[in-house]
Chain A
Amino acid sequence: MSALDEIRIVFFQECEEQLQELETGLTAMAGGETDADTVNAVFRAVHSIKGGAGAFALKQLVGFAHVFETTLDEVRQGRLDPGAEVMDVMLRSADVLNDLVAAGRDGGEVEAERTAPLLAELERLAGKGPGGHGGEDEDAEPFSFDDLDFTPVAFDLGDLGDLDGGGDGPKFRVSFRPRPELYAKANEATVLLRELGTLGPVSTTCNADALPLLDALDPEGAYLAWTIEISGEVTEAQIREIFEFAEWDCDLTIEALGLADLSEIAVPDAGADTGISVADLLARIQGELTGAPAAEGPAEPAPAPAAKAEAKPAAEAAEKPAAGGEKKEEAAPVIRVELPRVDKLIDLVGELVTTQAILSQRLEESGAAATGSDLMNSVEELQRLTRDLQDSVMAVRAQPVKSVFQRMPRIVREVASATGKKVGFQTRGENTEVDKTVVERLAEPLTHMIRNAIDHGLESPEKRLAAGKPEEGTVTLSAAHRSGRIVIEIADDGAGINRSKVREIATNKGLIPADAVLTDEETDQLIMLPGFSTATTVSNISGRGVGMDVVKQSIEALGGRLVITSRPGFGSTFTMNLPLTLAVLDGMVVRVEDDTLVVPLASIVVTFRPQPEDLQMIGAGQAVKVRGSTLPLIDVGLKLGYRDAPADPLTGVAILVEGDNNRRVALLVDDIRGQRQVVIKSLEKNYRPVPGIAAATISGEGRVALIIDVDAMMSDQSFDQFILGNEPIAAE
């Protein structure tokens, strides 16, 4: 990979960051935060993208970013008021900018139908400010090629010079009188004279007429002037280039000797007429040429300076003494690490945790280490350190959900405009952190649920008004940590789930028996069944071939849960409950028959030994009284098929667990072996999902132990039906 290819990757990474900055900033501005910092950050984001894009000759991106930036600058200068209409254009422009970046990365283009209308709107806004800047427009458009008319003149001068008959005699006389400002800007007359000397043979005369007497001499004044006659293969453009930075702070005349009749077409005059210096012009042309190598002319001046640099005498007398010594590259405050390296580290720490657990268990079993002994204390210390190490490593992977939340406003705008609904979008808890993998895999389900919330959840403005609600609907996306997990909610204030319709569809599609008795909550969950779609006609917003069943599965694949709550007339809430990390879990290690299982600690309320007086039969199932309420007692061994007959509850241990919707049951296991942090291993990777089992881990003995899926254990569904894949809803 070439250096430029690598920088290209950096560029697109940076673009992603800038686009997020842009989205955040614009959203804040739309919400009324129009302070200078916010506006500047927004401007800078677009400006940076434009700057980098230029280097990679992404003309469409540069062109759009430039117009976007110009309009943002109007806001920044206080000439354009960032009202609702303006912000709407800005937000849509950000979306197009997103697409242009993606197109640039993937080597495509964005259709002009998409960019052109926004460009027109942006330009209209930029010109609309009260202090409209008229003539400045032309200069603020560096990508116009109008000025190219001047270039043939500049390039032809070299050829004209040749009429003079080669290198005989001086060709140009340069008169150069620096003003004090020149030195104040760290330009050096001596450097300029030196550079002139690289163009060809020079004869230099110093004019000290203006030098005052010593006591009147200002140490920072400029008293000397020079006249230089230069001969050889040299063009006026080359001389001008050397004085490019100096000419504003000096009196400079360049006479072409023996060619007086041609001097009238000299480039500087042509440039001066339009107020643009040749140097500017060259810089701009040069910039354009960087991305368009085909445009080279025979007398292209660019290589000249480089040739000079190489031809320069090795012993430079005027080296600055202060510049000596070794220089090191400045270390950035943040290091960027490739994810595979972090993952390797996490894997290794995971193995370490497992090995440490095995070591502890072996020691305990061998009886070599009594509690309180030095050996046992060391082992405990090792356990603590391992745990700390693991937490620290996991923290490296933790990321705020912000990165995925920030992508949602765009979805909201798109769906709102496609459906003609008015939507206010709010996010809360953006800084809630969760494992990077979880963050990344949230984007798709969130996108779908937000589409769903607007398309199916919110009513049309007319219907809302008729129902006495504000015209604009609200969709809220929030994240929070709750008992060791992250809970993400998408709430709308729409009409809520139409339960009779849902029931009708489910019945018609054969998903439930016509006589099924379902609670409201159960009815709401029906929309997540495979093959269910609430839209009578498939809309092009939600109906992108993805149903809520797929959303539910993608969340379950992350070890999460999706629950729907709805209040007719007041809206619906989709609640996702996800693990913070896909790597470790605090678990209670239990025994069922000969197998070791793990129950996630986060789900456990209390463990207890059932007493005879607390047990009762409810229908075919057993129930146990605990903490004043009677709950189903589920025999884990029976449910998972480890045994055929129910175990005696009086010989086992009951674990009171709480799942989604605060639903509680008691799980009956044979024995409890202790608590341990376990490393989560996927069972699906090499096998397939197993109903009732969330994942696997490696036990203290070095064997595989399965982690119980508490919510699945609570479900009334028989796992056998699940396996067939055609699970009907239990009709009670």
Chain B
Amino acid sequence: MTKTILTVDDSRTMRELLRSALVEAGFNILQAEDGVHGLEVLRENALPDVIITDINMPRMNGLEFIEAVRADRGLRAIPIIVLTTESDPAKKDRARNAGATGWIVKPFDPQRLVGAINRVAA
């Protein structure tokens, strides 16, 4: 069955890059522009298999978004991969503590991203 990925990123460029790479790899895509929008999308659609989120976003950043997902009984089982330009280990720890499943540094290699998705998607 085709897996569905929710991408949460405020950058249109990043959303397009992700869409292009993931659709190419045969995934369905849901898109959101920030954490608040991401939660809305999660409420209004069938649950995605994996969430890929940016950290720096307006309104609700990636860390807050991950925490919100992990705090929700219906959503908490969804693996979340953080996709960000940050490579600072301290920030990576904060994302892990918030409940991130994995971490990929931008600019991403599409094959690697797909590999990571397969490693976390049940």
Contacts and interface: CB of A to CB of B under 8 A. Distances in A.
The short answer to whether A and B are in direct contact, CB under 8 Å, is: yes
A41 B77 contact: no
A280 B87 contact: yes
A86 interface: no
Contact of B108 (A245, A248, A287, A322): A287
Contacts of B111: 302-303, 305-306
A7 B24 CA distance: 14
A382 B1 CA distance: 54
Interface residues of A, number: 69
Nearest to A47: B56
B121 to A, nearest CB: 7
B89 A280 contact: yes
Main secondary structure of the interface of A (DSSP, over half): helix
B118 A319 contact: no
A330 B32 contact: yes
Interface in B4-23: 4, 10-14, 16-17, 20
Given A139-B88, A323-B48, A52 B14 contact: yes
Contacts of A272: none
Interface residues of B, number: 65
B27 to A, nearest CB: 10
A425 interface: no
A538 interface: no
Given A10-B16, A48-B10, A308 B58 contact: no
B109 A325 contact: no
B29 A327 contact: yes
Contact of A188 (B16, B106, B122): B122
Given A185-B96, A284-B87, A309 B47 contact: no
Contacts of A322: 46-47
A285 to B, nearest CB: 10
Nearest to B1: A319
Contacts of B122: 188, 190-191, 318-320
Interface string B93-112: 00010011111111111011
A284 to B, nearest CB: 6
Nearest to A52: B13
Nearest to B11: A48
A634 B4 CA distance: 74
A244 B107 contact: no
Contacts of A303: 111
Contact of A283 (B12, B31, B45, B105): B105
A242 interface: yes
Contact of A139 (B4, B33, B87): B87
B63 interface: no
B16 A327 contact: no
A6 B19 CA distance: 12
Nearest to B103: A245
A316 interface: yes
A322 B120 CA distance: 16
Contact of A330 (B3, B10, B30, B101): B30
A86 to B, nearest CB: 21
Given A4-B20, A306-B111, A323-B46, A186 B120 contact: yes
B4 A327 contact: yes
Given A245-B103, A305-B111, A322-B47, A55 B118 contact: no
A179 to B, nearest CB: 12
B121 A283 contact: no
A206 interface: no
A3 interface: yes
Contacts of A304: 115
A182 B57 CA distance: 26
A215 to B, nearest CB: 23
A245 B120 contact: yes
Contacts of A50: 85
Interface string A21-58: 00000000000000000001101100110111011010
A241 B16 contact: no
A187 B101 contact: yes
A142 interface: yes
B58 to A, nearest CB: 7
B99 A184 contact: yes
B107 A287 contact: yes
Contact of B57 (A44, A312, A327): A44
Contact of A324 (B37, B46, B99, B103): B46
Contacts of B13: 7, 10-11, 14, 48, 51-52, 55
B20 to A, nearest CB: 5
A291 B46 CA distance: 35
B85 A54 contact: yes
Nearest to B20: A3
Contact of A327 (B28, B58, B85, B88): B28
Contacts of A57: 107
B46 A325 contact: yes
Interface in A266-313: 275-276, 280, 283-284, 286-287, 289-291, 302-306, 308-309, 312
Contacts of B28: 327
Nearest to B28: A327
Given A191-B120, A280-B89, A305 B112 contact: yes
Interface in A711-729: none
Interface string B52-86: 00101110000000000010000011111100110
Counting chain A CB atoms within 10 Å of each CB, which of B46, B85, B116 scores highest? B85
A308 B84 CA distance: 25
A146 interface: no
Nearest to A48: B11
A329 interface: yes
B116 to A, nearest CB: 7
A329 B90 CA distance: 34
Interface in B31-50: 31-33, 37, 41, 45-49
Contact of B112 (A51, A302, A329): A302
Given A185-B79, A330-B31, 7 more contacts: A14-B11, A14-B12, A14-B13, A136-B90, A140-B87, A241-B119, A305-B111
Interface of A: 3-4, 6-7, 10-11, 13-14, 40-41, 43-44, 47-48, 50-52, 54-55, 57, 136, 139-140, 142, 184-188, 190-192, 195, 241-242, 244-245, 248, 275-276, 280, 283-284, 286-287, 289-291, 302-306, 308-309, 312, 316, 318-320, 322-325, 327-330, 332
The 8 closest A-B pairs by CB, nearest first: A305-B115, A245-B102, A54-B107, A52-B13, A11-B13, A186-B79, A142-B87, A327-B28
8 contacts: A44-B56, A48-B56, A55-B106, A245-B81, A245-B116, A283-B87, A284-B87, A287-B105
